[in-house]
Amino acid sequence: MKNTQDETNINSPLGVGGRNIIVGIGEILWDVFPAGKVLGGAPANFAYHVSQFGFEGYAVSAIGNDKLGNEILENLSKKELKYLIETTPYATGTVQVTLDEKGIPQYEICENVAWDNIPFTPEMEELARKTQTVCFGSLAQRNSVSRATINRFLDYVPETALKIFDINLRQHFYTLELIEHALDRCNILKINDDEILIIGELFGWESKTELEICNQLLHSCDLEIVVLTKGTQGSYVVTKNETSFKPTPLVEVADTVGAGDSFTAAFVSSLLGGQSISIAHQIAVDVSAFVCTQHGAMPLLPETLLSKVKKEA
């Protein structure tokens, strides 16, 4: 059984109802904190934030035929986020989240859940053909079923689309082969300071600096952009023509869950809205800083931030 929201929009031609379709495909789940659960999953977080910026964001994933799955659909509807989500015989995904004294999360991710088993459907093919931008990660590719679905979705995305690999390395759920294949499928890479060290080790680049690794990936994988976030130490956006650095604002952190996803969403939305690399980078920094002051990965963004992108989108 499939669950969709606004299916008529999926079937409308690109440029009429399907203009500016941006998809986050992969995990959707409940982040379970000591104080309660909040909706999460990097691709869904990304889709939610781009939709706040006025784009047609879609979350593509799978849930279980259970209470937690029904609650996910209810939450997506309340957030007015469009989705193409299959119901599977597997349990809806959950992640146990603990926060250290700086609000940095540690994750315990349940395995063999619904988002590990996302089936590819004709509706997904239709959506893929109309997609302007797609964001995917490594975590949802830990299982062969969802990995095949993500790659089939990418097969149908237009050649001109932005394809963002938010590498999102978690626990032991990745291999060098998986990462190399994903790098071949994307044109934008989003990576953080912990992940770039892992990449350096996997590729035998331990002697290179972080920026040297970014440039190596940019050229050897023929990428358009590499985004490196470094928490409180700032962030870099690296292209073949320029390197942008922005410091991280000092804010009172509630938690950092989803901050990177909001950064990616704001950056890409700003680029699509016609902003320069430097301005898009600054907007992304400001948005992710705000998200850090809120609990959970999908807070409502203030109009002062939304207007920076919406007026261009």
Structural domains of the chain ordered from first start: 2-310 (3.40.1190.20)
* Cα–Cα distance for residue pair 71/36, rounded to 1 Å: 14
Give me the pLDDT at residue 205, please. 95
* Cα–Cα distance for residue pair 77/205, rounded to 1 Å: 45
- Per-residue tens of pLDDT for the chain, all 313 residues: 445 554 333 332 233 333 589 999 999 999 888 888 889 899 999 999 999 999 999 999 999 999 999 999 999 999 999 999 999 999 999 988 787 777 677 778 889 999 999 999 999 999 999 999 999 999 999 999 999 999 999 999 999 999 999 998 887 889 999 999 999 999 999 999 999 999 999 999 999 999 999 999 999 999 999 999 998 999 999 999 999 999 999 888 887 878 999 999 999 999 999 999 999 999 999 999 999 999 877 888 989 999 888 644 4
**Amino acid letter for position 193:** D
User: What are the phi and psi torsion angles at 138 (to 5°)?
Assistant: -95, -30
Q: Which of 242, 286, 292, 294 is nearest to 53 (CA)?
A: 286
Give me the pLDDT at residue 33, please. 81
Tokens, residue 148 = 């095949």
State pTM to two decimals. 0.89
* Cα–Cα distance for residue pair 7/132, rounded to 1 Å: 18
Q: How many CA atoms lie within 13 A of 147 on its CB side?
A: 15
* Cα–Cα distance for residue pair 163/14, rounded to 1 Å: 18
Other CB atoms within 10 Å distance of the CB of residue 123: 16
CA distance readout (Å), 214 to 240, 274, 299, 304: 10, 24, 30, 32
* Cα–Cα distance for residue pair 22/24, rounded to 1 Å: 7
Going by their DSSP bridges, the two strands 105-109 and 93-99 should be labelled as antiparallel
Segments in the chain forming alpha helices (H): 7-10, 42-52, 67-78, 122-129, 144-156, 176-185, 193-202, 210-220, 259-272, 277-292, 303-310
